[in-house]
A and B are shown apart, each in its own frame.
Chain A
Amino acid sequence: MVLQQRAALDPRWAWQTYRPDLKRPWNLKWAGHLYRRAAFAANWQELQQAVRDGPEATVQRLLQPSPDQAAFDRQMDELAESIAKANNQLHMRAWWLARMLRTPFPLLEKMTLFWHNHFATSNTKVNNVGYMLQQNRTLRRYALGSFADMLQAISKDPAMMVWLDTNLSKKGRPNENYARELMELFSLGIGNYTEQDIREAARAFTGWEIRNGQFHFNRNEHDDGEKTVFGRTGRWQGEDIVRLCLEHPACPRFLARKLFRYFVSETLEPSPELLEPLAQRIRETNYHIGEAVRMILTSNIFYSEHAYRCRVKSPVEFAVGLIRALQGQPSAIALANALENVGQRLFYPPSVKGWDGGPAWLNSTTLLARNNLAQALTSCEDPQFGSRCDPVRVVRKYGSNNDEEVLDFFLDLFLQSDVNPEIRTRLADYLRQSAQFRWPAYWSERDRHEHRIRALCYLVLSQPEFQLD
């Protein structure tokens, strides 16, 4: 299957700008797809506006910070400062979820999440909320900017320095952890460097320390001798090694592959030829991530069956997506706790490789936990979440009146009505049958109606299609 797809894909066609036509019209389906990938998910208003505005304007809007962004950032930064003071890891996790839920610039958070998995650093070892939040801020700062600057910044990031032991690397006793991961996981990938490159590069990072919570270069502990990395010799320092990685021809290709997997498909293994135009764009723009993301979000391949529902939502994407779609405002603390059961604990990736993602997100336990979370959020009967994510509210807001309309509304909102007709029939059957239930006598007509709406919403959210991005 993968090979067939490989053979069938023409790189020129793939990266050309998508122009809606009769065969691939711009509609709710593609608007929902775009918002899922670039913004967790869309609410009803955003979906409608995207359909009206067309792909180009919508992508442009998603890539641009809104006027409210600066005020939002200021408030969240102040909050982060307070959380760091108390070293409270639950508040730290909740803080990021709150950002994702409330941000006016969701693509930025989505990309920060991408980089969190790329430069996977866990507070299990760092054990310093201030450092973790500082790293998160660095990732956000460069999330859609220069990867070159980000790689330099992350190399000197205190959380990363603790995580990969750079701060323990001394002249005569270089620690190879950071040099290895810099090449293997952060910039080049296996097969593009040698063990000797790692040993030599590690010497360049000696004398890198943390003082007062910031990077400090200790000349006395630095190995100032000549080093040969990727065949190039010099008195390289850490910054030079990062630069050498960025100048390595494998780096843009490596990055292109990761972005492709994140935005386009987890199931399609892209050929080097298919990736080359994207890598070329990365190279030409001097690693400007925003430009690469724009290229992906406007490409033919992005709006094709090769990309559609070809990713499994991570637990964070699942939860944040459904809450944003319902315009809910649940407790971020309760959500942070609940997400642990679903298998994703922000700031605590399982290893330096991050979360495996893809089908690994789903098993019988996590699937049940996802359904339980969806029910807890939407039933309004869970004491932790209360009525802060009430599907009835959006149904009322967007004026769906009868059962048919409510069903269509939820299918449009969450699945853009792209479901097997059998599913629709089953859901309609539920509505018909539930109208005949013997409800408790003390329930009002309104109670019955609202309960059925919430139950229907939950049934839609528990469809397999909703697990896909």
Chain B
Amino acid sequence: MKLNKWLATWLLLLCGWTAREVSAEPLSLVPEEADFVITVAQPKELVARVWDLVHSEPVRRLPGYEEALDQLTVRRLVQLVRYAERELGKPWRELVDELLGGGVVLAGKYAPQPGPVLLVIQGRNAPLMQRASELLADVLEQELARRDQPHQRREHERSGLKVQQLGETYWTLHGPALLVSNRLEVFDYVAPLTQGRTERSFAESGKWRSARTTVPSKALAWAWLDLRPPKLLKEVQQLFEVPGDLAIVHIFFGRYLDLFKRSDFLTAWLTANGADVTVSVHAPAGWQGSGIGARTQVPEDGKGSLRPPLQVPGVVYSSSFYFDLGAFLKHRDKFLTAQQRKGFEDFDKNTAKFLLGTRFSELASSLGPRHRLIVAQPDRKTYSVPTGITIPSFALVLELNDSERMGNKLAALLRGAAFLATFQARMDLVEEEHHGVKLVGYRFVDNEANRAIQNGLLFNFSPCFAQVGDQFLLCSSLELGRQLVARLQQEQKQPRVQDSMLFVDVISWAGIADLLEQNKEQLVVQYMLERVQTPESAQKQADEVIRWLRHLGHLQFHFTSEAKSSRLEIHMKLTR
């Protein structure tokens, strides 16, 4: 029964996904009681973009493209569209425009069971919508019968509305708008709105008025979530307790919990500009008034002042982020309960035994709040030993407060750890000087024992460290280490930008492509096993996938916290 309901809802949604310009009308048919609203504001543009993407040359060359289009389910969908074109007498692009021109809205209420949902499809042509809804109902009825779940169509009178029912799907027409729901009682709330009493609609509600300004008019699609109802739950309220049982969660995710606690709603939207696509998420709370639980990730003055993410040739992932472990230590009386504090103090005392007399708290307090992480695929020169799989190099660059004293302590600690590690796998010490900076590294000795470990896995690594000013570099390979030392040295001369960015992550598809290129043998294996291919054709398809990834450009994540709002932006830049 659930299947019927969802099948019906999504079938109707799928078959009606487009419009010419933003219209407030569908929102005025959504009751103000909605807890979430998802709107495709410009369906026609969205469909056009998806269509272009699916038919773009790089995508067409992807392995399995032809086969995917020849799948039975895809063929049936195409047939359904052709059938609709034939029966309604218009090509599908015109149908999209006339049946969905005013936008598509999905709204609902939170509930443990699938809660009530309402789908509003706002067309421009009432007679056509009438015919289309009849056609879809017929198809749905036939489809359910084919699946051995036959249902009779029924009609209900609900607050003056004539509501049709098939299985657990209910719908009615209001002019050129089609309203579909999974609950009959939803139409009690919809009925007054269809009679012009729109003051009880979502469009006129106070909760939407306060949020609508955050969504740009050029958004192709957007969503609004009411955050107040879940916060009434006791379990959710417990999440916000500081100190509380979830201290560790607050240390790492306190920023998000704090935003959730202080925000009444979230909005998200999708925009596109040429080859750039951006998804933005907005919360109406910023660094001002942030709680103690957020202190490791949100500075008190809101100034992230991050250094830019590190960039080297072959970068796969690069991140610059604000994380102040010192703030946790400074405020640990507020973060931790008495029992947790005692546990932590015991742990801290014990760490001195392993950290050459230095306590964890001393180390952590000496760290600054701005750090960076990078994963890259540099040219390999350290070893001539072949490895079963190529693991990319990675590095962590930590900011130090008391750089001179802590740098020396960290270096001594790392030398000690390396000494102990040589008992597991033999390593040689390598020390290099780069413009006054000492890079200390370790090379695994090329012997039988080291080669035997996971098909030479060790030979992906030559761990190293260095200190450049207040930046302490820990890196998995000497090749990347050398490049980063040079970068960090250049950077020391540049002024730091004062801004409210709290993290920036950049994923380079070209870097991932490089990584796959290094491990192409495994990609070829995958295709041979999946697609029953000769090594030659699998190789060709692996090349196509790698080429396609290079075409994708970058994926960036930015999180900024202004005084009274926060925003996460996910930005995809497609290269041509």
Binding site for B on A (CB under 8 A): 75, 78-79, 82-88, 91, 94-95, 98, 102, 130, 211-213, 329, 331-334, 380-381, 383, 386-388, 437-444, 447
> Is B564 part of the binding interface, using a Cβ–Cβ cutoff of 8 Å?
no
* 7 residue pairs from A and B, CB less than 8 Å apart: A79-B529, A79-B535, A82-B525, A331-B531, A440-B143, A441-B139, A442-B139
B86 nearest CB across to chain A (Å)? 9
In the complex the two chains form, is B532's CB within 8 Å of A329's CB? yes
Partner of A78 from B143, B531, B535 at Cβ < 8 Å: B535
Contact pick for B389, options A86, A213, A438, CB 8 Å: A86
Task: Choose among A211, A331, A380, A438 the residue that contacts B530 (Cβ–Cβ < 8 A).
Answer: A331
Instruction: Determine whether the beta carbon of A438 is less than 8 Å from that of B529.
Output: no
Shortest C-beta distance, A95 to chain B (Å), equals 6
List, in ascending order, chain A residues with CB within 8 A of B143's CB: 440
User: In angstroms, how far is the closest chain A Cβ from the Cβ of B417?
Assistant: 26
Contacts of B84 in A (CB 8 A): 442
Task: Choose among A87, A333, A387 the residue that contacts B529 (Cβ–Cβ < 8 A).
Answer: A333
- Report the bound CA distance from A88 to B529 in whole Å: 13
Residues on A with beta carbons closer than 8 Å to the beta carbon of B71: 380, 383, 386-387
Given contacts A333-B529, A383-B73, 5 further A-B contacts (CB under 8 A): A86-B519, A332-B532, A383-B71, A440-B142, A447-B79
Please, which residues of chain B bring their CB within 8 A of the CB of A84? 388, 455
B524 interfacial by beta-carbon distance below 8 Å: yes
- Flag if B448 contacts A85 (CB, 8 Å): no
Q: Is the interface of B mostly helix, strand, loop or mixed?
A: helix
Chain B neighbourhood of A88, CB < 8 A: 522, 525
**Closest CB-CB distance, B66 to chain A, in whole Å?**
12
Binary flags per residue of B130-165, CB closer than 8 Å to A gives 1, else 0: 000000001100110110000000000000000000
B76 within 8 A of A: yes
- Say yes or no: is B454 at the interface (Cβ < 8 Å to chain A): yes
CA distance A383 to B74 in the complex (A): 11
Given known pairs A82-B521, A87-B455, the reply for A439 and B146 (CB within 8 Å) is: yes
Residues of A with C-beta under 8 A to B535: 75, 78-79
Q: Which residue on chain A has the smallest CB distance to residue B451?
A: A212
| Nearest B residue (CB) for A380 | B72
Q: How many Å from the CB of A216 to the closest CB on chain B?
A: 11
Is B73 a contact partner of A381 (Cβ separation < 8 A)?
yes
Question: Quick check: is B185 within 8 A (CB to CB) of the other chain?
Answer: no
Docked Cα-Cα span, A278 to B84, in Å, equals 69
Give chain B nearest CB distance to A256 CB in angstroms.
37
Chain B proximity of A136: nearest CB distance (Å):
15
Q: Are A441 and B448 in contact (CB under 8 A)?
A: no
For A441, what are the chain B residues with a Cβ–Cβ distance below 8 Å? 83, 138-139, 142
Task: Please provide the chain B residues from 17 to 76 with a CB less than 8 Å away from any CB of chain A in the complex.
Answer: 67, 70-73, 76
**Separation in Å of the A466 CB from the closest CB of chain B?**
22
- Tell me whether A94 and B389 are in contact in the complex, defined as CB-CB below 8 angstroms, given that A82-B522, A387-B71 are known contacts: no
Most chain A beta-carbon contacts within 10 A, residue among B72, B519, B522: B72
Whether the Cβ atoms of A86 and B529 lie closer than 8 Å is no
Q: How many angstroms from the CA of A334 to the CA of B67 in the assembled complex?
A: 16
Q: CB-CB < 8 A to A383: which residues of B? A: 71, 73
Alpha-carbon distance A94/B531, docked complex (angstroms): 12
* Closest Cβ neighbor of A127 among chain B residues: B454
Is B14 among interface residues, defined by CB-CB distance under 8 A? no
Least Cβ distance of A176 to chain B in Å? 27
B 519-556 to A, binary, CB cutoff 8 A, 1 in contact else 0: 10110111011111011000000000000000000000
Known: A91-B525, A95-B529. A438 touches B388 (CB 8 A): no
Q: Which residues of B contact A444 (CB under 8 A)?
A: 79
Q: Are A87 and B76 in contact (CB under 8 A)?
A: no
Residues of B within 8 A of A442 (CB): 76, 79-80, 82-84, 139
Residues of B within 8 A of A91 (CB): 522, 525-526, 529
Known A-B contacts A438-B142, A441-B83, A442-B83; A83 and B455 likewise in contact (beta carbons under 8 Å): no
Q: B254-272: contact bitstring with A at CB < 8 Å (1 yes, 0 no)? A: 0000000000000000000
B78 shortest CB reach to chain A, Å? 10
CA–CA, A334 to B530, complex, Å?
8
Contact A87 B454 (CB under 8 A): yes
Contact between A333 and B530 (Cβ–Cβ < 8 Å)? yes
- Rounded to whole Å, the gap between the CB of A185 and the closest CB of chain B is 29
- Indicate with 1 or 0, residue by residue over B383-402, a CB within 8 angstroms of chain A CB atoms: 00000110000000000000
